[in-house]
Amino acid sequence: MNHEKNEKTRKKKTTTEDTENTEVEFDDLVGLFEQTQTAMQTQAARSVDIALVVRNWLFGWYIVEFENGGAERAELYGKKLIKQLADTLTTTLGKGFSKRSLEQYRRFYVTYSEIAQAVLAQSSEPDEIQPTVPVAPSEISQSLPDQSFQIIENSDILQAMTAKLSERFVLGWTHYVALLTVKKSDERQFYELEAAENGWGYRELERQINSGLYERLALSRDKNEVKQLSAKGQLVEKPADVIKSPYILEFTGLEERKSYSEYDLETAIIDKIEHFLLELGKGFLFESRQKRFSFDNRHFYVDLVFYNRLLRCYVVIDLKVGDLKHQDLGQMQMYVNYFDRIVKTKDENPTIGILLCLTKSDELVELTLPENANIYASEYQLYLPDKAALKKQLEEAQAEWEATHEDSSAVQEGGTPNEYE
């Protein structure tokens, strides 16, 4: 009887000690948040945004490492960790540590966890335990509870990590919140590159994501060029690089109108010219509206004239509120010829013509224009597109490109097939 009592007392004592040890570890976790918060608040004004991004990544790192710290910790806290941490940090540090925010920090770290691997790979102690990524509950028991925090509590590694993060992240925290909505890594990397290079604010970045800029650019490129989008962003080296399919003009506010004229569309674009320049993309400068030129005692008017400083050429745009007709293509060819022969200088590149229309026939465009024409017909929409539909369209286009590419390779390897065999 006494033996059983002593055994119960021993088990109870052991459980209490385990709980106390775990509570100490939790206190360490809270302490890391407090120390990092204090350190980051001392940063200069310019560095505030980057410091906030670094801080939030570190917070996510702490959480993931703590979660993967062994079966005891998982059993004691489980899914309640975020809530308990939010309650404690809100009491000690104030706002910015809600359950939703902490979950966001955790997701941010998971999305960009490769940075931790890169820093530790350069560590002077390569045998140290590597950072973890979230594991399934059934696998938590396989983690080592003490080794996770050995990394975090190592000041040299933490300092190297912070320096690396400050170099890696170039956007503000709200930008990365928007980027977390992009699931595919190559697409997310494209938007990050473009936002940094073009100085997009949060709302501009959000608008480009919602308008499916990546998919719209990818639709006018082959598979190899699509891969370059995520690696290098949008490169503007030839006329086709500035073409989108479709153009999104939701900013004009014409969607709710049952009918509108080409003049209405043109006026709406001019009224929001900064939005239209953002939609056109890199290098565009606005020159004139209703540009008049004359010959043979007749006057002609180009709806919109731009200049692209990267391509070093004029870009003339004609607006059509209905279906594209072959006469429209012929008229644009005349506009382009005029600018090439009369307006542009010898050191400038050939003029680009863009017809923005509500609907078009690809066959009509191909049959009407010569093969080397520098003229493009693109549809426009007055509302944000269905991204799922855009992704499906992109997948179909890529599959078609692959099939065509494979057929061409087969012909080159086996010779030209004889249709009479």
Within this chain, do residues 165 and 194 fall inside the same structural domain, yes or no? no
Q: Where residue 371 sits, what CATH number does that domain have?
A: 3.40.1350.10
- Per the structure, the count of domains in the chain is 3
140: nearest Cα among 81, 225, 67, 231: 67
Within this chain, do residues 194 and 108 fall inside the same structural domain, yes or no? no
Q: Going residue by residue through the chain (421 aa), what tens digit of pLDDT does each one get?
A: 555 545 555 544 444 444 444 445 777 788 888 877 776 665 554 467 888 899 999 899 888 888 776 545 555 555 688 888 999 999 998 888 999 999 999 999 999 988 777 766 665 444 444 444 443 333 333 333 344 455 566 667 777 778 888 888 999 999 999 999 999 999 999 999 999 999 999 999 999 999 999 988 888 776 677 778 878 888 888 999 999 889 999 999 887 677 899 999 999 999 999 999 999 999 999 999 999 999 888 999 999 999 999 999 999 999 999 899 999 999 999 999 999 999 999 999 999 999 999 999 999 999 999 888 999 999 999 988 887 877 787 777 777 766 665 555 544 555 544 433 3
Q: Is 237 contained in some domain? A: no
Q: What DSSP string describes 394-408?
A: HHHHHHHHHHHHHHH
Q: Is 174 contained in some domain? A: no
Contact 186, 222 (CB under 8 A): no
Within this chain, do residues 48 and 161 fall inside the same structural domain, yes or no? yes
CA distances from 163 to 14, 53, 128, 173, 183 (A): 42, 12, 19, 17, 27
Within this chain, do residues 213 and 125 fall inside the same structural domain, yes or no? no
pLDDT of res. 120: 66
Q: Which domain holds residue 207?
A: 179-231+387-405
Q: CA–CA separation, 345 vs 331, rounded Å? A: 22
CB burial of residue 87 (10 Å; 0-12, 13-18, 19+): middle
Intra-chain end-to-end CA distance of the chain, in Å: 97
Within this chain, do residues 100 and 206 fall inside the same structural domain, yes or no? no
pLDDT of res. 13: 46
Q: Copy the structure tokens of residue 113.
A: 């966890």
Number of CB atoms found within 10 A of residue 132's CB: 19
pLDDT of res. 67: 78
Predicted TM-score of the model (pTM)? 0.73
Q: Is 413 contained in some domain? A: no
pLDDT of res. 24: 52
Q: Which residue has the tokens 């941490």?
A: 85
pLDDT of res. 295: 87
pLDDT of res. 72: 54
Q: Is 125 contained in some domain? A: yes
Q: Is 113 contained in some domain? A: yes
